[in-house]
Structure formats: structure tokens, C-alpha cells
A and B are shown apart, each in its own frame.
Chain A
Amino acid sequence: MIVLKRFLRSPEGVVGFGVLAALALLALFATVLFPGDPQRIAGPALLAPFVDPALPLGTDRLGRNVLAGLVHGARASLVVGVAAALIAVILGSIIGTLAGFAGGLVDEALMRVVDAFQIVPGFLLALAFVSVLQPTLPVVVTAIALGAWTGPARLARAEVLSIRERDYVASARIVGMHPLEIALREVLPNALPPVLALSAVIVAGAILTEAALSFLGLGDPNIVTWGSMIAEGRAVLRSAPFLSIVPGIALVITVIGTYLFGEGLAAMLSRRDRQAA
């Protein structure tokens, strides 16, 4: 398909996809690579990386396998990141599209709701939400989505508003197309690609927010996440900095990979350039 070729032509996209694919595979096979509970004691405490081949990245304060924690933590990051972004994008698209089509009072009302959610910084909103309810995975996902849905909502609405004015929508009306069909066939398929491209950035943000929540001790305490690993490493930052640095690097690579993938998506979905005269 031509669209796929366009994606492959963007080096950032390909690199990003590679990073994410590798991460997804790791996360998928976490239990195969490191069976058992990653939080169990695997060896002596504070073992440095590259010393014991059975514990390639060493152990933490309690003797837990850092690499096992890293790989299992990938699961949490990716699951939370993707799930939160999915909810944010779907919810935002629906509300933004509704506002764009309805216009008038409905549009005004919905946009004020968007304003309300946008005024509070996303992270603080997530923080407040998790603090009030129990810190389980679904709650964390919802909390992050609550802060992230406004971006897609505004973008979807802007796209719908602009596309409604285009000649091809006018042509569809003149030919006698039913408004519902116009919405589903003419407007939405052309309005959503930019929102899709935005979703990659939202995943990146969601992963970071999850890490930050875990770092503060507000994540799900029963699973390993990169944020909680970084938090654990704080106590021994001077004697064993690798405990915080390693998951930190994993975070950075993941976020950059997601972002690059988003760039590739945007390149793939962008409109064709017109011929120069």
C-alpha cells in the first residue's frame, strides 16, 4: 500500500516503530524470559551490573533482579500508556466531533467542559484522582486519560469545523447525501488522521505520567513499574545510582521511540504535495 511506503520512507518512523516493537515483544514475553515474581529475592542486595551473568543488570536494595523488573515494568508502562491514550483519543474524538457537527449551544457547552478539564494540569488531575480512589491499574489509566482527552477533542473539533466548509462536503450535500452519511463517509475519515498522529504523543505523555505517579508511590503497588524502580533507587542514589538510572534510560528510550513513531505516522497520513507548476 502507498500509505505504508510513505511510512517506511520516514527514518524516524521506522526507528520509532523498531523501538516500540522491541519493547512490545519484551513486554509480551516477560513471563517467558523471567518467569516467576519479579519482586522476589533473586540474589545478594545491591549487586552491580555486569558482574554476575545471571543478574546482568545487578540487584536492588532487597536483592531483586533489576533486569527482570525492567522487562516486567515494560508491561506496565506500555499497557497503561496505550490504554490511557486509547481512552483519551476515543473520548476526545467523540466529544470534539459532536461539538464540531452540532455547533451552537451544544458546541459551546462541550467546549466549556473541555476548558474546565484543560485548566487543571493533566498530571495534577491524575494525582488528585488517584489519591481519592484506590491506586489500582484501571484507576491509574482513567486518571491519565482524564488529563489527556482535551487535546484530541480540540483537534477533532477543529478538523470537523474546517472540513465542513470544504467544497467536497458541499458537493455531498448537493448530491443529496444524508447528513449522517456525510459525517461518517466524508468528514470523519478525513478529520481523524491528524488526531491519530497526535495519539502517539499522548502515549508518550501517558507513559511518563504513569512513571511519575508510581514514583510518588501512587501507582499500583502490586506490580513493578519503572517509576517505582526509580523511586526505590532514590534511597541509595549515591552508592548505587544504576538502580535509578537504568529504568530512567528505559523510560527515555520508550518515550523517544513513541514520539518518533508518531512522526512517522504524521508523515504517512499527511496530504500529498501538489505538483509545482
Chain B
Amino acid sequence: MIDLIRLEDVSVTYAGQSHPAVVDLSLALAPGEKLAIIGESGSGKSTLAHAIAGLLPRGASVKGRIEWPALGRPATPGADFGVVFQDPGASLNPVLRIGEQVAEGAQRHLGMDWRQAERRALELLEAVHIPNPQAVLRAFPHQFSGGQRQRIAIAAAIAARPRLLIADEATSALDTLVQAEIVALLANLVTAEQMALVFITHDIALAARLADRIAVVHRTALVEIGPTRAVIDAPRSDYTKHLLATHIDLSDPPRIGMARP
């Protein structure tokens, strides 16, 4: 099967910085595959996502190749891929109504007229389990909680039926309950719509729950990549071992004595 995206020796250096944010990174993503990219702050994982999405700031230099073999041409944002960010405020415009924003992708890339796009927006809001979608179409982002805004952002990102969804720390600002719901939603959506998913996170357990393959990024380099179970059960890189060792799991024994003093 032809890869959806292929990155070869990609290096990114931001304007005004002497050190690159990402160095010689190569990886490939198959259509419909769920890939988790794990790393800590400053590792370069977000830079990688921005490079794929063409969202690097002005002046950033990119070496290496980013290709979309399955498309045979450069990717169009919205039509070929959608992005959901950590802060729903970055994806949603506070002064536009929800309906407009969710329908925009369908209007622009699927050539739908306003009525068709509105119907598509309703479908999408139902698919992300937003209650009362008809009323929501005319509402504004500030009327919703963080978790709901993130669902709406996901709906907007997949409106034009893209082949790939990039979620950049999309659940990091949400509490555990909402995070679990959003992760389950993402897993079901990408399977139903046959999309590939690139899920960036700092939480290795979350990645294990969601991904087919895990890529570990540490200080600008890709240090390990492989099927989820292989990376979790038999990590090869020291850094991955370190991440697994320092992960605090619910089933770990407590660090304090259990008796009350």
C-alpha cells in the first residue's frame, strides 16, 4: 500500500535560532494508520506536526522532503488533512457562529452550497456527540466548555473528509474524564471515516490506548518508532525506557506509606 505521508531527513530551524528544532527526522504513515508522537516539551514533536501541516512560522527553514505519495501532489489544508490544537481557542474563531466554522471546510473543499454545508455541519456535530446540534449551529464558542469546544474543533477539522487528522496535544488541557471521552471519540471517528491520525502527546499511557504505532522524539531526534506493544513492552531506546520508568501509573504502589500518621 502506498504511504500517505513520507518524511525523509527533515530538519527544521526556526528564524533567529541557531539550533534546529528537529534534526534528520524520517518516518512514513500508512493510510488509516494511527501514529502517536511522544515527547517532552522542547523535544520537537510539535514542530514535526507543524511541518507536516505546513504551519511553520515565517522564516523557518526546512531541509529534507515531506511528500504525500498517496495523493501524488502537495496536500491542501482542510481538504487533505485537518488539525486540532491543544487550545480550542486557536481552532475556533470567537466571533463567528459554530455553524459557519464547522461548515466552512465542507463549503470550501467539497463545493457544497450553504444548505448542503449546513446539513453536513449538523451531521458532524452529531458525530462528535454534541447535544442539541440544531441550536448549537447558531451559538458561539464562548458558550461551551473546553471539552465541548474541542469536539467542535474536531468536527470542523474533519468537515471536508480529509485523509489525515493531526491532533497536537489536543487533550492536554482537559481533565482526565473529558480526555478519555475525546480519545475514544477520536479513535471511533478515524476508524469510521477511514482517516489516518497523528496524535501528539506527552502521555505515553494515552498513546498506548490509542495508537497502532508509537514514535518517540527526544531533543530534536526520533529515537524510537514501532508498533505500540513492541515499544511499550520491549523498548529499545534508553530514553523510551526512561519515559516508561518515570510514568506514574494508577496501578503503581503508592510512594507514601498507606497508614495515616
Binding site for B on A (CB under 8 A): 275-277
Q: Are A277 and B45 in contact (CB under 8 A)?
A: yes
Bound complex: CA of A276 vs CA of B85, how far in Å?
13
Bound complex: CA of A277 vs CA of B168, how far in Å?
11
Additional 12 contacts, C-beta under 8 A, given A275-B42, A277-B39? A275-B41, A276-B14, A276-B21, A276-B46, A276-B47, A277-B41, A277-B42, A277-B43, A277-B45, A277-B46, A277-B47, A277-B169
What are 10 of the A-B contact pairs (CB < 8 Å)?
A275-B41, A275-B42, A276-B46, A276-B47, A277-B41, A277-B42, A277-B43, A277-B45, A277-B46, A277-B169
Residues of A within 8 A of B39 (CB): 277
Bound complex: CA of A66 vs CA of B169, how far in Å?
66
Residues of B within 8 A of A276 (CB): 14, 21, 46-47
Q: Is the interface of B mostly helix, strand, loop or mixed?
A: loop
A8 → B minimal CB distance (Å): 14
B47 → A minimal CB distance (Å): 7
A121 → B minimal CB distance (Å): 28
Bound complex: CA of A277 vs CA of B85, how far in Å?
13
Which residues of chain B from 157 to 203 have any CB-CB distance to chain A below 8 Å in the complex? 169
Bound complex: CA of A275 vs CA of B41, how far in Å?
9
Nearest-CB residue, chain A, relative to B44:
A277
Residues of A within 8 A of B41 (CB): 275, 277
B63 → A minimal CB distance (Å): 18
Bound complex: CA of A276 vs CA of B41, how far in Å?
8
A267 → B minimal CB distance (Å): 14
Residues of A within 8 A of B169 (CB): 277
Which residues of chain B from 95 to 114 have any CB-CB distance to chain A below 8 Å in the complex? none
Interface flags for B75-103 (1: CB within 8 Å of A; 0: not) read 00000000000000000000000000000
Residues of A within 8 A of B45 (CB): 277
Bound complex: CA of A277 vs CA of B49, how far in Å?
11
Nearest-CB residue, chain B, relative to A275:
B42
Residues of A within 8 A of B42 (CB): 275, 277
Bound complex: CA of A276 vs CA of B42, how far in Å?
7
Residues of A within 8 A of B14 (CB): 276
A6 → B minimal CB distance (Å): 12
A47 → B minimal CB distance (Å): 52
Residues of B within 8 A of A277 (CB): 39, 41-43, 45-47, 169
Bound complex: CA of A277 vs CA of B47, how far in Å?
7
Residues of B within 8 A of A275 (CB): 41-42
Bound complex: CA of A275 vs CA of B21, how far in Å?
11
Bound complex: CA of A276 vs CA of B57, how far in Å?
11
B95 → A minimal CB distance (Å): 20
Bound complex: CA of A275 vs CA of B47, how far in Å?
11
Bound complex: CA of A276 vs CA of B45, how far in Å?
10
Which residues of chain B from 20 to 66 have any CB-CB distance to chain A below 8 Å in the complex? 21, 39, 41-43, 45-47
Bound complex: CA of A276 vs CA of B21, how far in Å?
9
Bound complex: CA of A276 vs CA of B47, how far in Å?
8
Nearest-CB residue, chain B, relative to A276:
B46
Q: What are the nearest 10 A-B pairs in CB distance?
A: A277-B46, A277-B41, A276-B46, A275-B42, A277-B42, A277-B45, A276-B47, A277-B43, A276-B21, A276-B14
Bound complex: CA of A227 vs CA of B122, how far in Å?
63
Nearest-CB residue, chain A, relative to B169:
A277
Bound complex: CA of A200 vs CA of B39, how far in Å?
44
Bound complex: CA of A88 vs CA of B88, how far in Å?
40
A276 → B minimal CB distance (Å): 6
Nearest-CB residue, chain A, relative to B39:
A277
A176 → B minimal CB distance (Å): 28
Bound complex: CA of A57 vs CA of B39, how far in Å?
68
Residues of A within 8 A of B46 (CB): 276-277
Bound complex: CA of A277 vs CA of B40, how far in Å?
8
B206 → A minimal CB distance (Å): 16
A274 → B minimal CB distance (Å): 10
B115 → A minimal CB distance (Å): 41
Bound complex: CA of A277 vs CA of B46, how far in Å?
6
Residues of A within 8 A of B47 (CB): 276-277
A264 → B minimal CB distance (Å): 18
Nearest-CB residue, chain B, relative to A9:
B16
Bound complex: CA of A276 vs CA of B60, how far in Å?
13
Bound complex: CA of A277 vs CA of B42, how far in Å?
4
B11 → A minimal CB distance (Å): 15
A273 → B minimal CB distance (Å): 10
Bound complex: CA of A277 vs CA of B45, how far in Å?
7
A35 → B minimal CB distance (Å): 50
Bound complex: CA of A277 vs CA of B169, how far in Å?
10
B168 → A minimal CB distance (Å): 9
